[in-house]
Structure 1
């Protein structure tokens, strides 16, 4: 059994500090199953709408970050807002990461007071949840993270968490897997801590991608039925009007991508054939700047483990069995060849 296999076995029973969790009393002792309120909203986590002031108001915003990674996506968007609120010139999150204040190891949570004036009167906390090494964030790690986030914030008295659906970005998880991990994580963290008479915690998942919002809505509906009797999930599904609007916006984005792809193909054909572009062809969008690719490689005995992370996707960890002597010999030969050419 490899180190990775052992980690997967321990994932559901151990906390990040490898301290066994004390057994929790079943919620049935309170007379009713645990109650969790779940919402799925289309929007930007960096700019919550008026709903954030509802009862209970949002008192924690949760985003994720990989170990050693500079702010990306939702983390970067929120960083801009928080940096401006603290009157900083340079990215606050980046500075904290570079100084190892924000570590982002698996389930390591960094808590920061939300300084924005619009939240005055509400003790709101920004939470940067560590997702560990790039390329190594699998389902066992997602379940650990979900449980630890809910456990820590509930013990700090937080009642309403707004978060991006961690695991749904560059990872290859389905909408169902993401929602199931977070709901079960909340259940595992809160069972025995509160009674089933009151809502234990409210979680609002905020997503900018319309298609993903539709998938999350369907996933929560399904999970609520599956867990009925063991946990009460109070969920208000998206209305028919909301579903239609999101579907239309999702289809518009898909059609736009198709047009852009078609225009790029046509431009390549014209470049090869030397044809002049038609007058009705719109200008090509500016090519985005190249994003760095982070590769994580480790070796245990004769097993090499590697994973990769880009700005838009993640390659899960993979293992290959290879002779370390062979690798060392090839490495020495390459080094000698490079030295010889330099001379």
Structure 2
């Protein structure tokens, strides 16, 4: 076998970033298989590859026995001693059996196995590179589309954005740059598969981490995210330091920080609220922009009854119940919203409780 094959393997290993020993081991296994197949041999053989001379040798391995039962696998002690008097029972004797035209067969086997191993190794390299990007945001370019998927090029691999993971209000065009959330990376029989999303709540969380330095460095913590992709989202934030305004940090000067995220999500509305361990405060904040008169808490069922001014009922519930639904998802508490009139009729609100809410309403009217 020509030394050119060794040179080619050496260059390929360097180019693809693959351990050369992996390719050489695969080549040896392929040559053994090729020898047995082409020469109809069941003999145990060993391949010796000399990279310096470019020579390849095939050796038949036979066990030394008293009497042979299979001449392809065994050799008698008498015959073995003719080769070397020092052989004894249970020794293994090797005899070179390199065929004259084995170079041609070796070249074919080498091409097949090296190509296969390179493909497998490349898949392994890609998988190793992308497995660390799970639950992270990556930027890709849309390559093509079909009724089921948007295909996004992420560099060394093409990811599929399934219809269920797309934003319903978003239009996709070939060559558009797109930020996507990597939900899962799997190593399959067809190679690494990357699952991405534009609708996952994790995308919103990562975008805030990228845009708000206080979140990135841990000064401000994201506690929860509730999202109806393309329409509206709520995010709760908290700062351990009382001097830090977590909501203001996320909004940014003149709303620049949150606006950058809204632009990336094509106009999705985002409510940023302050987290609190007190469910009364937290649920009240979560129902923003609606005002809340009172929150009645049922700890056992983790449920709340929220009383809002009559004129704020529609705002608190939101269009198609969206505001209340997102608030419940954000806080993890069941939320039942009642107007002041309903609460008073059910005995949940006293007259004195009403006075403050009406004065709040009057202040709004004069503002």
State the TM-score bracket (shorter-chain normalisation). under 0.3
More strand per residue: 1 or 2? 2
Normalised by the size of structure 2, how large is the TM-score?
A: 0.22
Normalised by the size of structure 1, how large is the TM-score?
A: 0.23
**Relative contact order higher in (CA < 8 Å, ≥ 6 apart):** 1
Structure exhibiting the larger radius of gyration computed from Cα positions = 2
